[in-house]
Amino acid sequence: MGGGKGWGKPNALCTFRPPVSLNLVYGPYMNDSDALFFVLMAGLAGTMTLLYFPLRIFLTITARSRRLKLLQRIRRLRDELGQPLES
């Protein structure tokens, strides 16, 4: 080797550092892929909370309303069929 001078000259991959502005904007840990995954999952969870659940509740309520109206119509028809015909 180089006679006690370390491992030699560092290559380009070892000396790469992101620009300082990236660290100031995103924080020192945004280069970590786990942080990006967490941000994406948190965004997906927020989207589901704000959009999916209210939509699901609305559709459930309207489906129950339609089912109730249909049952009431069936009961009315049964009552009409149980009465004698007027002629």
Cα 87 to Cα 80: distance, rounded to the nearest angstrom: 14
Cα 28 to Cα 21: distance, rounded to the nearest angstrom: 10
Query: pLDDT digit string (tens) for 24-81?
Result: 555 555 566 788 899 999 999 999 999 988 999 999 999 999 999 999 999 999 998 8
Other Cβ atoms less than 10 A from the Cβ of 60: the count is 10
Residue 19: band (very low, low, confident or very high) from pLDDT cuts 50, 70, 90:
low
Cα 78 to Cα 73: distance, rounded to the nearest angstrom: 9
pTM given for the model? 0.44
Other Cβ atoms less than 10 A from the Cβ of 81: the count is 8
Q: Please give the pLDDT value at position 46.
A: 94
Residue 83: band (very low, low, confident or very high) from pLDDT cuts 50, 70, 90:
confident
Task: Say how many residues make up the chain.
Answer: 87
